[in-house]
Amino acid sequence: VPGEGGTSWRRRPKPREFLIMSGASRQLALFLCVCSVAALGVQAEDAQYVAAVYEHRSILSLDPLSLISRTQALELMNQNLDIYEQQVMIAAQKGVQIIVFPEDGIHGFNFTRISIYPFLDLMPSPHLDKWNPCLEPQRFNDTEVLQRLSCMAIKGQMFLVANLGTKEPCHSSDPGCPDDGRYQFNTNVVFSSNGTLVSRYRKHNLYFEAAFDTPLEVDHSIFDTPFAGKFGTFTCFDILFFEPAVSILRDPEVKHIVYPTAWMNQLPLLAAIQIQRGFSIAFGINFLAANIHHPSLGMTGSGIHTPLKSFWHHDMESPEGRLIIAQIAKNPPGLISTGNTTSKMDIAHSKLLKILAGDLYSEKDAEDIHCDGAPEGNMSAPPTFNSEMMYDNFTLVPVWGKEGYLQVCADGLCCHLHYLRPTLSNELYSLGVFDGLHTVHGTYYVQACALVKCGGLGFDTCGQEITESTGIFDFHLWGNFSTSYIFPMLLTSGMTLETPDQVGWENGHYFLRKSGLSSGLVTAALYGRVYERD
């Protein structure tokens, strides 16, 4: 994706003191919340479906700023589509029913508005009758990519989700019509297993993408499947905003999200797999995320996430892509009543739907999970200091000793930590709080409580990007958030996702509890978004 001027890679500048991720190669991993699985029992095979996501190392244009012909653009895109087709056929042999490919995977990035034009397919109006590009290739011009994707879906007998650049002509009477007489969109498309185009979504929250336009209206793209009901879709940076990522979940039947992305990892709070898993847990849904694979740009991290387990891939060393296949529940475990049939949603999800519908939120409704009261404050509190984390000015306190209780506050948000460390390591950890408007590479209001490993032993290293640690914690982290939209994040050494023991509301506070980490803690965070204050 191009920068503002269309001439630089989409790389977030990092302060010099930030550490470069070591990126130890990690294989596909599965984590189960044992107690929850035991309560739910084994899912019947017909209550599950098989999904796939492909982290693709795209073949890029050597000079994305140059003007080339449509024929030359198709030659490049067909190289990527050849790889897509290979993955579809591998997935078909495994019984996959839906596959997701990443953002920018077909055409690449770093274009200008003019130089990307030969790479754009024409997107017909969604109000037209159903169209099958593979079977009706002559119906519209400049739809070669859509035709290939449609034929892949037929060949693999699966639903297929991909991202491409599209164009839509507009008239000068349209007040939003660009001077060149066309809209250019970053677009997700969905094909059914018979090749029919069943949905399209135009990215709403662009991330320095000068080649594309923002749609005048937000697309709420939902499609139905015979194997798992309703799915929604959005793209990359959209995940941090209410529209459409949260609003699409107002439909209680949407229990699955397909998510093409080209995400650059930024620790300690916004690595790709962190936010993907956090979204899945926060909303109790299945989240199918396909990221682009360009480790030199910090781009890796894909997964098939459910509220109770994740299948993921994060690899900063290998140049190869990765196909992830998993069998997951049609009704995500977080939405199933453990004492009854799969058709009934639990109380917590019903209350979430009230929040999404805009109903008044009450503290009584929030008390779904009970936790112990906070211990008394320490007689001698540790020093408070400030350090930059995620380009924001966090207020922090050091986490010293084998056990204790800490509190740190800023601008109305107070974060609390009760912790026990079986053994001490020669590492500095800190508890941080931020309650304010984030203004770097996007403007959005954040409330965050974060327990993080610092880059060194000095306070000024807290907030740096690290991926390895040895410190083991049993802990209870909570805060008095003013928002209902909080993403729990739990990351351990080697970019390993862990499952919280419990998350939920208690007496107006949102909490995360975990004991028995499998490896050293990197980040435990509650990342809240206050959308109305953006």
160-195 confidence digits (pLDDT tens):
999 999 999 999 899 999 999 999 999 999 999 999
Judge whether residue 275 has pLDDT over 70: yes
pLDDT of residue 370: 33
pLDDT of residue 373: 38
454 is known as an active-site residue:
no
For residue 336, what are the contacts with CB-CB under 8 A and spacing of at least 6?
A: 40, 329, 342, 344, 345, 346
The angle formed by the CA atoms of residues 380, 385 and 388, to the nearest 5 degrees, is: 150
Judge whether residue 421 has pLDDT over 70: yes
Selecting among 55, 103, 168, 209, the annotated active-site residue is 103
Q: Which contiguous run of DSSP H or E holds residue 85?
A: helix 70-93
pLDDT of residue 44: 60
pLDDT of residue 346: 39
Amino acid at 377: G
* Rg of the chain, C-alpha, whole Å: 23
Report the distance separating Cα 9 and Cα 388, nearest Å: 24
**Strands 48-55 and 98-100, bridge-based pairing:** parallel
Report the distance separating Cα 211 and Cα 169, nearest Å: 15
pLDDT of residue 333: 81
Selecting among 236, 449, 454, 462, the annotated active-site residue is 236
- Sign of CA pseudo-dihedral 195, 198, 202, 205: negative
pLDDT of residue 116: 98
Report the distance separating Cα 53 and Cα 230, nearest Å: 18
Please name which of 201, 203, 194, 123 lies closest in space to residue 159, comparing C-alpha atoms: 194
Cβ burial, residue 129 (10 Å; 0-12/13-18/19+)? exposed
pLDDT of residue 354: 54
Q: What is the mean pLDDT of the chain?
A: 86
203 is known as an active-site residue:
yes
Please name which of 94, 116, 99, 98 lies closest in space to residue 107, comparing C-alpha atoms: 116
Report the distance separating Cα 294 and Cα 296, nearest Å: 6
User: Which of the four pLDDT bands, split at 50, 70 and 90, describes residue 46?
Assistant: confident
The total number of residues written for the chain in this structure: 534
Cα distances from 64 to residues 77, 112, 194, 354, 485, in angstroms, run 13, 8, 34, 47, 38
Judge whether residue 253 has pLDDT over 50: yes
Backbone angles phi, psi at 149, to 5 degrees: -65, -40
Judge whether residue 489 has pLDDT over 70: yes
Judge whether residue 378 has pLDDT over 60: no
Cα distances from 235 to residues 102, 145, 186, 352, 505, in angstroms, run 9, 19, 9, 23, 29
Judge whether residue 359 has pLDDT over 60: no
3-state percent breakdown (helix, strand, coil) of the chain, nearest 5: 20, 35, 50
pLDDT digit string, tens, across residues 290-337: 999 999 999 999 999 999 999 999 999 999 999 999 999 999 986 332
Judge whether residue 351 has pLDDT over 50: no
Please name which of 489, 492, 495 lies closest in space to residue 517, comparing C-alpha atoms: 492
CATH superfamily of 46-335: Carbon-nitrogen hydrolase (3.60.110.10)
233: Cα separation from own chain's centroid: 11
In terms of phi and psi (left: phi > 0; alpha: psi -120 to 50; beta: otherwise), the region of 195 is left
Q: What is the mean pLDDT of residues 448-455?
A: 98
Please name which of 135, 179, 178 lies closest in space to residue 154, comparing C-alpha atoms: 135
For residue 225, what are the contacts with CB-CB under 8 A and spacing of at least 6?
A: 97, 98, 159, 192, 231
Window from 54-68, 231-245, 340-354 with minimum mean pLDDT: 340-354
Report helix, strand or coil for 527.
Answer: strand
Report helix, strand or coil for 40.
Answer: helix
pLDDT of residue 233: 98
Place of tokens 């008239």: 171
Every domain of the chain and the residues it spans: 46-335, 363-533
Cα distances from 501 to residues 289, 309, 474, 515, in angstroms, run 23, 12, 10, 7
Selecting among 33, 167, 203, 498, the annotated active-site residue is 203
Cis peptide before 126 (omega within 30 of 0): no
317 is known as an active-site residue:
no
Q: Whole-prediction pTM value? A: 0.85
Give first-to-last CA distance, the chain, whole Å. 24
The answer to whether the beta carbons of residues 240 and 442 sit under 8 Å apart is yes
